[in-house]
Amino acid sequence: MDNTSAQELTQNDFFARNLVQLRSRLEGRVSQQRLADELGLKKSTWAAYESGRAEPRYGDLIKVADFFQVSVDDILRKDLSKEPLNMPKIPELRVLATTVDTQDQENVEFVHVKALGGYAEGYGDIDFIGKLPTFHLPFLARDRKYRAFPYEGESMPPLRDGAVVFGEYIESWESVKNGSICLVVTKNEGVVLKMVYNYLAETGVLVLKSLNERFAPYPVRREDIKELWRFAGFFENKFPA
């Protein structure tokens, strides 16, 4: 093995060990999924970095270094378990009421039309969630949490009234990128599907925008938001016009 290969292996080993160490030093028990969401990465990517199965992309190196306030050189060349660091704080974990099947796999719950009106109040009630119909779909990732909601209205063409929208649960609201389409559960409006512009860090609001230009954008305050679900697909039982 030449010197360059040996150096790359050493750096990759340091990087993997440092990621495990840094995550373990965060306040509370922070999962790979939680930290990946905070950094805007896929869980599978973070897991591959921690295990040393993948070399880090340059952009991901910058994200990790900036988040933990260390240099890229240090994260690749030093044993950070011996370094005094000021660890960042991750926003408080949100608890999701959910159901699992007999193999302890997450179900996809369907919030049917009759349950939709009460969802903004019952979303955290396991009895309410436990009464919803459940199913699995092979094209949805097994390591993510999904829920299905009926779409009502005409604000998000080409979706039509009566479509079923699949949402992926978002734990870290700050990680939502501008222009993302999300199901937003609010205190006053219930469940709405909108394009989201994220100003939570600056002003504590999300701006919700319809794809139908007849509907004006409007802000929603953080304290009025109950849940966020990233758009993951939809189903319609009518052939497209």
pLDDT tens profile 27-53: 877 888 888 888 888 889 999 999 999
Q: Rounded CA gap, 61 and 195, in Å?
A: 29
- Phi and psi at 172, nearest 5°, equal -100, 100
Query: Which residues touch 21 (CB under 8 Å, ≥6 apart)?
Result: 80, 81
Domain extent at residue 59: 3-82
pTM of the predicted protein model: 0.67
pLDDT reported for residue 12: 66
Co-location of 76 and 154 in the same domain: no
180-186 vs 190-199, strand pairing mode: antiparallel
Co-location of 42 and 124 in the same domain: no
Co-location of 124 and 183 in the same domain: yes
Query: DSSP per residue over 102-116, as a string?
Result: TTSPBPEEE--HHHH
Co-location of 21 and 139 in the same domain: no
Co-location of 131 and 46 in the same domain: no
pLDDT reported for residue 5: 43
Measured CA angle at 175 (ends 172, 176), to 5 deg = 105
Residue 208 lies in a domain: yes
Co-location of 10 and 77 in the same domain: yes
CATH no. for residue 22?
A: 1.10.260.40
